[in-house]
Amino acid sequence: MTQPRVVSRDEWEAARAELLVKEKELTRARDALSAQRRRLPMVRIDKEYVFRSPDGPVDLPGLFGGRRQLIVRHFMFHPDWDEGCVGCSLQVDNLGHPAHLHARDTRLVLVSRAPLTRIEPFRRRMGWTVAWFSSFGGDFNPDFGATRGDAECSGLSVFLRDGAEVFHTYSAFSRGGDALINTYNYLDLTALGRQEEELEYPQQWWRHHDRYDVGHSPELENH
């Protein structure tokens, strides 16, 4: 890949200052977009949904875990698949500690159409502790755009609870979730970036984290 040209420290400082102006513009634009997103109207959920968990069945209000807000990660996992989507797995690998969401009265969970008999072995293999529910046999996935026909779709949906009532406030799919992948955010800071220029979306360099070849760096083998 082409590397940046080599310049003096003064030239670098000038170029960095020019880029910083644009970075601040983007930050302000992102703040304004987030404010507009919060002003979206919402839809009351009157339909009843049932999800399966290792602890038994749960309804939609039960997914909140007593909190006021709920983020559902629509994790692509077809009932016939033996393992979950690679791209969705990348996003789950990038989740932070849930305490920070909980401090803002918000819970994040995974929901997939696959039955628990397929979800649980894969969850254990990946070493994840995030709550993961099965919507197998129900309408939740198609109702919220996570299954279209027999195809699974990557995305998320956000809900607000007011007492016993639940409202749908936001959904995003496909590249709408790119900002949640901190691997990308870190790579975007580097000179070589994501190194995807020759790849077609979805980017096929992704692997389940236990399937990467660590290459020729012995010091990385345990990390």
pLDDT digits (tens, 9 = 90+) for 2-30: 889 999 999 999 999 999 999 999 999 99
Looking at every residue in the chain, the average pLDDT score rounds to 92
What's residue 196's pLDDT? Answer: 84
CA distance 92 to 131: 11
What's residue 177's pLDDT? Answer: 84
Asked whether the beta carbons of 53 and 112 are under 8 A apart, the reply is no
pLDDT greater than 50 at residue 211:
yes
pLDDT level of residue 199 (50, 70, 90 thresholds): confident
pLDDT greater than 60 at residue 217:
no
pLDDT digits (tens, 9 = 90+) for 40-85: 999 999 999 999 999 999 999 999 999 999 999 999 999 999 999 9
Own/partner pairs for 172-176, CB < 8 Å, 24+ apart?
Answer: 173/74, 173/145, 175/201
Place of tokens 């760096």: 217
pLDDT digits (tens, 9 = 90+) for 163-177: 999 999 999 998 888
Distances (CA, A) of 117 to 40, 54, 153: 37, 10, 21
